[in-house]
Amino acid sequence: MGRSFANLHIKSENLEKSVEALRELSAEHPEVIGNPTIAVMYVSQSNENWISVLNEFLVWGTVKKVGKTLSRLIEEPVMTAGYINEEIFELSIFENGAIQAERIFCEEWTRDEYGLKEERLQDDCFRKVLAIDAEDFDDFIGITSPWQAVDKLSELVRISIWSDSEWIPHDENLRNRFGKYEFHFENT
């Protein structure tokens, strides 16, 4: 079994607005993050265009549900990234509670073995939200190796996609970049 991670990114310049949306997500939709009484989120202003979010409940299989719900609470696009066993990298864009674009980077045998299909291919949406020029985008979208796709996306968008909340105790760089936010509430 190889390395796995999941994270989400909000296309926003406003850290406070993004944190408030995460607080609202935790309070009003706790089921999408595992119904905690204390929701712990790690948040970073990755660059002038993106806010990155890590949480222990974000894994491949749940991160899309969190991204979809969060996109209903914030007026900005939400990008989710899920990487599983070094075999699959799933990238999705959500706006207003709906998936707008999705791409799964993997070898054909992996796609067949897992029965994977993208929910919605919208390359124009990816290009617009990610703000990648056409030539770089064509190079990126044609990648089938999951780790190469993660590396290329990180380079093009200038954020580290290689991150997960489980890594924070062991990675000083992540600890320095991400602020810890705890949202306390009682589940009803």
For residues 122-135, average pLDDT: 90
Q: Is the pLDDT of residue 80 over 70?
A: yes
Res 60: pLDDT: 85
Q: Is the pLDDT of residue 1 over 80?
A: no
For residues 146-154, average pLDDT: 96
For residues 157-173, average pLDDT: 94
For residues 61-69, average pLDDT: 94
Which pLDDT band, with edges at 50, 70 and 90, does 117 fall under? confident
Considering the entire predicted model, what is its pTM? 0.93
For residues 23-42, average pLDDT: 91
Average pLDDT, the chain: 92
DSSP letter for each residue of the chain: ----EEEEEEE-S-HHHHHHHHHHHHHH-GGGGT--SEEEEEEEEEETTEEEEE-TT--TTTHHHHHHHHHHHSSS-EEEEEEETTTEEEEEEEETTEEEEEEEE--HHHHHHHT---S---HHHHHHHHT--HHHHHHHHT---HHHHHHHHHHHHTS-----GGGGGG-HHHHHHPEEEEEE----
Q: Is the pLDDT of residue 188 over 70?
A: no
Length of the chain: 188
Res 116: pLDDT: 87
Percentage of the chain modeled with pLDDT above 70 = 97
**Residue 91 is encoded by which pair of tokens?**
């990238």
For residues 160-167, average pLDDT: 94
**Which has more confidence, 97 or 61?**
97
